[in-house]
Amino acid sequence: MLRATFLYLSEQPRIFAFIRGNRLARRLASRFVAGETIDSAVTAVRELNSRGIAASLDLLGESVTQADEARSSAATVVQTLERISAEKLDCNVSVKLTQMGFDLDHGLCVENMRRILDRGRELGISVRIDMESSTHTQRTLDFFEQDLLPVYGDRVGIVIQSYLRRSAADIDRLIGARARVRLCKGAYQEPAAVAFPDKADVNRSYMELIEKLLERGHQPAVATHNPALIAHVRRFVEAKGIAADRFEFQMLYGIRRDLQEDLRRAGFRVRVYVPFGTYWYPYLMRRLAERPANVAFILGNLVKESLRA
């Protein structure tokens, strides 16, 4: 119920306009978002890199409705690539197609993505295409497999969500195409016809898909904070003799830092997804939907801090 409420709120831009100026909401967001500027994001990445953890920078934004906004987002992503290169960070970028005009004009989105991917290729930095709601899945995969993968190869990667019933077939095809896949559970509100409603089925699907990717995939990314799934992956790679440089663990900024450290200390590669920018509202709502206890936890900390002040 709370999950559905937060996911509903994530799609209400008018509420964002109201909430953006709210100090408490900004403090809440700062737990999951590395500030509003490239400078603040670079500081967060430097700190992660100093602990041996790689990063993926995500300029927050999605579902843009104006062509100018899509072009300006693409320009900021290009600037981000240039900063990553200039600062010699161990970092790539993640991009949402709807931020680049996917729902507005396909040609515009292609133009924006080529601009980003061409610059990434020149600088030797890869670009991961995030997966959005199921209304975009087929179009995203078509665009990735037909237009981007053949041109940019290893420099472009995609995301598959284990909650979708279709994902086993998608994974088989992507393995065949030697695509780089990040596997996550999926963060959107989806109908039962397309996504498993029960957590147990989503976890079971995750285990099946990640095993395929680890055994036959190309540099897969295990994107989860779920300790049982992580333990399963560790047992599986040990049993199959899969070397630690053939895959990486990925987690979100501000979530389960203890696990990130444990994995790194155990000799695994870890990458943290670091969102930054002004458009943090839908991202924050999805993080609250995953764990409504966050609201109580963060509010409790804020009260403690203000009592100390």
Catalog residues that contact ligand FAD under the rule CB under 6 A. Answer: 130-131, 159, 161, 184-188, 223-226, 250-252, 255-256, 273, 287, 290-291, 294
83 catalytic, yes or no? no
Q: Name the β-bridge partners of 156.
A: 127
**123 or 259: CB nearest ligand FAD:** 259
> What's the rounded Cα separation, in Å, for the pair 39 and 52?
20
- The token pair at 306 is 């203000």
Task: Please identify the residue of the shown chain whose CB is closest to the bound ligand FAD.
Answer: 225
> What's the rounded Cα separation, in Å, for the pair 22 and 138?
37
Shortest Å distance, C-beta 265 to ligand FAD: 19
CA dihedral 153, 103, 250, 148 (to 10 degrees): 0
Q: Write the Ramachandran bin of 178: left for phi over 0, alpha for psi from -120 to 50, otherwise beta.
A: left
Shortest Å distance, C-beta 211 to ligand FAD: 16
130 catalytic, yes or no? yes
Query: 167 exposed, middle or buried (CB, 10 Å; 0-12, 13-18, 19+)?
Result: buried
> What's the rounded Cα separation, in Å, for the pair 131 and 293?
25
**85 or 189: CB nearest ligand FAD:** 189
**80 or 224: CB nearest ligand FAD:** 224
Q: Name the β-bridge partners of 276.
A: 59
Q: Name the β-bridge partners of 250.
A: 223, 271
**99 or 161: CB nearest ligand FAD:** 161
Shortest Å distance, C-beta 130 to ligand FAD: 3
Question: Are 87 and 42 within 8 A, CB to CB?
Answer: yes
> What's the rounded Cα separation, in Å, for the pair 247 and 217?
9
**3-state DSSP call for residue 55?**
strand
Shortest Å distance, C-beta 14 to ligand FAD: 23
Identified catalytic residue from 58, 103, 130, 170: 130
**31 or 246: CB nearest ligand FAD:** 31
Shortest Å distance, C-beta 121 to ligand FAD: 21
Among 184, 246, 251, CA closest to 215: 246
Identified catalytic residue from 128, 182, 271, 287: 182
Give the catalytic positions in this structure: 130, 182
